[in-house]
Amino acid sequence: MALVRNNSINGREPVLSPRSLTSPRGLTSPRPLAVQPTPEPVRPLANFPPSIWANRFISFSLDNSELEAYANAHEEPKESVRSLITDTTIDASAKLKLIYSVHRLGLSYLYPEEIDAELDQLFKKIDLHHYEQVDLYTISVQFQVFRHHGYKLSSDIFKKFKDTTTGTFTDEVTKDVKGMLSLYESAHLRLHGEEILDEALVFTEAQLKKIVSTLEGDLANQVNQVLKRPFHTGMPMVEARLYFNTHEEDVSCYESIVKLAKVHFNYLQLQQKEELRIVSQWWKDMEFQTSVPYIRDRVPEIYLWILGLYFEPYYSRARIIATKITLFLVVLDDTYDAYATIDEIRAITDAINRWEMSAIDLLPEYIKPFYRILLNEYDDLEKEYSKDGRAFSVHASKQAFQEIARGYLEEAEWLHNGYVATFPEYMKNGLITSAYNVISKSALVGMGAIADEEALAWYETHPKILKASELISRLQDDVMTFQFERKRGQSATGVDAYIKEYNVSEEVAIKDLMKMIENAWKDINEGCLKPTEVSVALLTPILNLARMIDVVYKFDDGFTFPGKTLKDYITLLFVTPAPSLESC
Ligand SMILES: CC(C)=CCC/C(C)=C/CC/C(C)=C/COP(=O)(O)OP(=O)(O)O
Ligand SMILES: [Mg+2]
Ligand SMILES: [Mg+2]
Ligand SMILES: [Mg+2]
């Protein structure tokens, strides 16, 4: 087997690269006489599990009058909640709890100015001494509400819960389940240097795990929920539904909030089911299942991913665009990782760099339909957005798409040459193959006026918060997918590069990479504090992209094998009816 290269990764047995078997010359003995048809190369097929949804979401039929009825039903409770937020007779503590609930329910985007004005005023009035008399739960809620909205309330307010002699959290804290739960949520908002929150996270997690089986009712559900995933690292839309289900006592005192939340959930569910129908129908019409059947067929999962970036109704078109482009990325990634030969990968990258229909002749037959659809979709977007002078965002998305194709090629060349990159080299390319540059720029296309040229220029500076989100994407994916990819003889991951660079065990490498992810989260949290470099509307999708990695990869490779978390989330949002309005 002379054509098999040595892919030894740091002392592992040489990996038999499927791609190294793809040369026709490796499969046939030399026969100089008859002209042989070129045999089909051996391909690195992954046999990915099929979609678990088939055509389920295509049959949805939107009743516009129903949608309109929900839109109208918003008006009254929306105004009542606005009055509550601005009500001067509600005391500071109750007001902050109210704003906290409004945010957890996914409603704060309806009142950005009012909430900011309230918090601004309350934040200015804060006297840290005041917190000496306040309980852990209340302090933690206030800490979160300020931090959620970019106000840097000092984490020193938690100092009083530590025993000065032992340096650990007091026994009193251990007995306060609701307080610990809320402190655990707070700790996820930590910044660099906030050691008290680093400690609080470890402490409360251990304590809550210890007592969870002894709890009952809503509190048991809340603790189970937070241990699975705290609000700050969850998908906002799902977190809103879960909060509604398990925090009745926190919201039931405000009838209008309950009513608004219910109408809002129902409205959004209809709108989102329609968006999912549109992208599912498009996917079917484009016949990807026939032309590239080797890829992961994951339309609802990718739509969910994008919905995780932004759920506001006015980003409907933006979600459809970003979903389609992300689906293109899945085709590209799986083609490079699980189908194409190195020569084909070079040809596909070349054609994507050229970006002209005539380059289609360079391509293998199977990828030609994809190439045609890719160019046509971008062409349509360019036409659509040229009209209002927004074609710049389409160009930026296209350039990022070309860049990721080059990044994927780089990985393929490394594999082809049996080379494991140094860790810095890997990370430089890895931030590109994280896909988060393409996705976040593509997310801007349909966002409208807010995503202007200035916003794009900020993106082009590759700001710290974007880098952090890319790092989280790249490394958390690597930590959860490297074994599968290694077994298949795919390109070395960050885990392999780290092991090689620092000569450490796999266990240490994973621990260190998880630490890097933790630090990147602190960068993200810092980047969301006032004064922000750009508007919150532009930062939120970047924060949410990091959250979606946690959603998909916290426990396993939830994208390749979407039968757990993603199935539950898709069922909750698009299958299970939204909370009934009957009692309203
Ligand atoms: C890298 C990453 C988590 C990207 C998230 C953004 C996203 C939805 C990209 C589309 C391609 C994709 C699903 C890659 C993850 O799988 P994979 O493990 O096969 O990706 P890999 O080949 O880059 O490792
Ligand atoms: Mg892949
Ligand atoms: Mg890949
Ligand atoms: Mg991977």
Same domain for 253 and 121?
yes
Nearest CA to ligand 1 atom 13: 330
Identity of the residue numbered 68? E
Residue 170 CA to its chain's centroid (Å):
36
Q: Specify the DSSP class assigned to residue 493.
A: -
CA 326 to ligand 1 center in whole angstroms: 10
Are 248 and 334 part of one and the same domain?
no
How confident is the model at residue 1, as a pLDDT? 27
Q: Indicate the range of 38-42, 99-103, 406-410, 566-570 predicted with least confidence.
A: 38-42
- Give dist(CA 155, CA 198) in Å, integer: 11
Of the candidates 304, 216, 263, 160, the residue with the CA atom closest to the CA atom of residue 579: 263
Q: Is residue 312 part of a domain?
A: yes
pLDDT, residue 130, reads: 87
pLDDT tens-digit readout, 184-243: 999 999 999 999 999 999 999 999 999 999 999 999 999 999 999 999 999 999 999 999
Statement to judge: residues 457 and 557 lie in one domain: yes
Classify 162 as helix, strand or coil. strand
SS3 68: helix
Give yes or no for residue 343 having a pLDDT over 50. Answer: yes
By most ligand atoms within 8 Å of CB, the mutation choice from 434, 477, 490, 549 for ligand 1 is: 477
Which residue has the CA at smallest separation from atom 12 of ligand 1? 330
Query: 471 and 336, same structural domain?
Result: yes
53 in any annotated domain? no
Q: What are the C-alpha distances in Å from 146 to residues 20, 122, 141, 154, 238?
A: 55, 10, 9, 10, 22
Which of 206, 235, 257 finishes a domain? Answer: 257
**Mutational test site, ligand 1, from 298, 333, 410, max ligand atoms within 8 Å of CB:** 333
153 DSSP assignment: -
What range does the domain containing 178 cover?
Answer: 81-257
| pLDDT score of 366 more than 70 | yes
Q: What is residue 38's predicted lDDT score, i.e. its pLDDT?
A: 73
Does one domain contain both 293 and 253? Answer: no
pTM: 0.94
Q: What are phi and psi of 234, to 5 degrees?
A: -100, 175
What is the overall mean pLDDT for the chain? Answer: 93
What pLDDT is attached to residue 19? 45
Of the candidates 257, 278, 299, which is a domain's last residue?
257
CA of 434 to the centre of ligand 3 (A): 9
Do 407 and 544 lie in a common domain? Answer: yes
Q: Ligand 2 centre and the CA of 333: distance in Å?
A: 5
Segment 156-165 shows an average pLDDT of 95
Q: How many residues does the chain have?
A: 584
Tens digits of per-residue pLDDT, 62-74? 999 999 999 999 9
- List the residue whose alpha carbon is closest to atom 9 of ligand 1: 435
Residue 249, in any domain of the structure: yes
For residue 379, count other CB atoms closer than 10 A to its CB.
13
C-alpha span between 335 and 439 (Å, rounded): 18
Residues 435 and 508 in one domain: yes
Instruction: At 447, list the tokens.
Output: 């966002």
Specify the ligand 1 atom closest to the Cα of 433.
Answer: 23
Position 138 scores a pLDDT of 97
Bridge partners (DSSP) listed for residue 162: 169
pLDDT score for 27: 35
Residues 455 and 344 occupy one common structural domain: yes
What CATH number has the domain bearing residue 504?
1.10.600.10
* Position 18 pLDDT exceeds 70: no
Cα-Cα-Cα-Cα torsion 387, 390, 391, 395, nearest 10 degrees, comes to: -170
Which ligand is closest in space to the CA of residue 560? 1
As a whole number of angstroms, the distance between CA 414 and CA 485 comes to 14
Give how many domains the chain has, as a whole number.
2
Residues 210 and 334 in one domain: no
| Ligand approaching nearest to the C-alpha of 474 | 1
From the alpha carbon of 476, which atom of ligand 1 is closest?
Answer: 3
- DSSP symbol at 132: G
Look at 9 and 306; give whichever has higher pLDDT: 306
Is 60 domain-assigned? no
Domain holding 121: CATH number? 1.50.10.130
Residues 177 and 107 in one domain: yes
Encoded tokens for 122: 């309350």
Q: Are 552 and 566 in contact (CB under 8 A)?
A: yes
Cα 149 to Cα 116: distance, rounded to the nearest angstrom: 8
CB 313 within 8 A of CB 305: no
Ligand 4 centroid to 337 CA: how many Å? 9
Map tokens 């209008």 to a residue. 256
Say what the pLDDT of residue 33 is: 57
- The per-residue pLDDT for 35 is 62
Mean pLDDT across the stretch 340-358? 98
**Within a domain: residue 264?**
no
> Same domain for 243 and 140?
yes
- pLDDT, tens digit, 9 for 90 and up, residues 120-148: 999 999 988 889 999 999 999 999 999 99
375/445 same-domain check:
yes
**Which amino acids bring their CB within 6 angstroms of ligand 1?**
305, 326, 329-330, 333, 337, 433-435, 439, 473, 477, 481, 559
Contact status, residue 141 vs residue 97, Cβ threshold 8 Å: yes
22 close to 318: Cβ distance less than 8 angstroms: no
Distance between CA atoms of residues 544 and 528, nearest Å? 12
Task: State in Å: Cα 232 to ligand 4 middle.
Answer: 24
Residue with CA nearest ligand 1 atom 7: 435
**Contact yes or no for 306/325 (Cβ under 8 A):** no
Distance 436 CA to ligand 1 centre (A): 9
Rounded Cα–Cα distance for residues 157 and 140 (Å): 9
Cα separation, 97 vs 101, in Å, equals: 6
Atom of ligand 1 minimally distant from the CA of 439: 6
- Is 25 part of a structural domain of the chain? no
Residue type (1 letter), 133: Q
> Which atom number of ligand 1 is nearest to the Cα of residue 305?
8
62 lies in some domain: no
The residues with which 169 forms a beta bridge, in sequence order, are 162
- Per-residue b or e along 290-304, where b marks 16 or more CB atoms closer than 10 Å to that residue's CB: ebbebbbbbbbbbbb
pLDDT of 29 > 80? The answer is no
Q: Is 47 left (phi over 0), alpha (psi -120 to 50) or beta?
A: left
Residues 258-263: what's their mean pLDDT? 97
Taking the CA of residue 329 as reference, the ligand 1 atom at the shortest distance is 10
Q: What pLDDT is attached to residue 9? A: 32
Domain edge (last residue) among 239, 257, 275: 257
Q: Distance from the CA of 182 to the center of ligand 1, in angstroms?
A: 33
d(CA 573, CA 238) in angstroms, rounded, equals 7
Name the pLDDT band for 298 (thresholds 50, 70, 90).
very high
With respect to residue 59, please indicate whether it lies within any of the assigned structural domains: no
Q: Which atom of ligand 1 is nearest to the CA of 557?
A: 18
Shortest-distance Cα residue to atom 22 of ligand 1: 333
